[in-house]
A and B are shown apart, each in its own frame.
Chain A
Amino acid sequence: MTTTVESELLLDLPPDAARSVLLLGTPATLEAGTVLFDLGGDADRLFLIRRGRIALTLPMKVEGRVADVLVEEKVGGEVVGWSAIIPPHRFTLKAAATVETSILAIPREPLLSLLEAEPTLGYALTRSVARIMGQRLQLFQAMWLRQMQRLLEANPAGEWSGR
């Protein structure tokens, strides 16, 4: 039974509330290369990374073949699979361990029931998820704009805009 995990998801929660969330989880260890979830799969669990590294990837056509291309990496203390909390509960990325990784898997239904039963906890945890999502959005906005700038500099006539 795991009652202490340092996680960005639990930062805003009082210790008792954090503990009640952690009690729902099941610890697991993933070998390097293990796929945690697939793109489009049912987001039935949320994962707190305790140690190790998870690569989040999306398929991309590279040299005529489809390959999983790294989008983001998550390490100990971070959370993956927050689609479990947000409808329509579908994973929007593929996640796989790149090194041996310890996680805590928290199932969706008991978690949602807990959040509904304890609105203060629900609010605090939802705020944590909103912060994590907001950070990712800001990061990718900046990455997108940097790429747009390069595209514009490489093709000032706008050859890229037709697709």
Chain B
Amino acid sequence: MTILLAVVIISVAEVVILSLAFRTFERADEKRARLELERAAQTERPRSRFFGEAAAIPSSDGAALEALLARLERHVRLEQQAAQWFLDNPTPETLHHRAPVRPHVTH
């Protein structure tokens, strides 16, 4: 009887120890996965919604900001040329076509 009791107690203790070890391992795994996700979110730059070129510019630099604004200006000018071309020749094709690039005229 004593032996049987001892076996039962040892078995129960083993199950408890094993389950504790398993949970600890599982938590460590979850934590590692969460950290990886957070790191990935920090390093991933938001995708530009309107100006595809814009995302490539490094931030927090005055020169980079000027370059980005210059690109935005160029984009706006090109888009206006393209839109004007569509208005002069209104067809479904010209609406989404690239405009013939005209030089920027200084008056």
Judged by DSSP, the binding face of B is: helix
Q: Does A75 contact B (CB under 8 A)?
A: yes
CA distance A143 to B86 in the complex (A): 10
Chain A min CB distance to B61 (Å): 8
CB-nearest residue of chain B relative to A159?
Answer: B47
Q: Does A156 contact B (CB under 8 A)?
A: no
Tell me which of A39-47, A64-72, A80-88, A121-129 binds B. A64-72
Partner pick for B83 among A69, A76, A146, CB 8 A cutoff = A146
Q: Could you mark each residue 4-33 of chain B with 1 if its beta carbon is under 8 Å from any beta carbon of chain A, else 0?
A: 000000000000000000000000000000
Q: Does A138 contact B (CB under 8 A)?
A: yes
B contact residues, total (Cβ < 8 Å): 27
Q: Does A151 contact B (CB under 8 A)?
A: yes
Q: Which residues of B contact A51 (CB under 8 A)?
A: 107
Q: Does A16 contact B (CB under 8 A)?
A: no
Q: Which residues of B contact A72 (CB under 8 A)?
A: 76, 80
Partner pick for B72 among A65, A69, A99, CB 8 A cutoff = A69
B80 touches A62 (CB 8 A): no
B65 touches A139 (CB 8 A): no
Q: Which residues of B contact A76 (CB under 8 A)?
A: 107
Chain B min CB distance to A6 (Å): 12
Q: Could you mark each residue 108-146 of chain A with 1 if its beta carbon is under 8 Å from any beta carbon of chain B, else 0?
A: 000000000000000000000000000100111011011
Chain B min CB distance to A60 (Å): 8
B84 touches A139 (CB 8 A): yes
Within 8 A of B (CB), among A79-113: 99
Q: Which residues of B contact A154 (CB under 8 A)?
A: 52
B60 touches A62 (CB 8 A): no
CB-nearest residue of chain A relative to B86?
Answer: A142
Chain A min CB distance to B107 (Å): 5
Q: Which residues of B contact A53 (CB under 8 A)?
A: 106-107
Q: Does A149 contact B (CB under 8 A)?
A: yes
Closest 4 CB pairs of A and B: A142-B83, A70-B73, A143-B83, A75-B107
- Could you list 5 A-B pairs, sorted by A, with CB under 8 Å? A69-B72, A72-B80, A75-B107, A139-B83, A139-B84
Q: B residues touching A (Cβ–Cβ < 8 Å)?
A: 49-50, 52, 54, 57, 59-60, 64-65, 68-69, 72-73, 76-77, 79-80, 82-84, 86-87, 95-96, 105-107
Q: A residues touching B (Cβ–Cβ < 8 Å)?
A: 51-53, 60, 62-65, 67, 69-73, 75-76, 99, 135, 138-140, 142-143, 145-147, 149-151, 154, 160
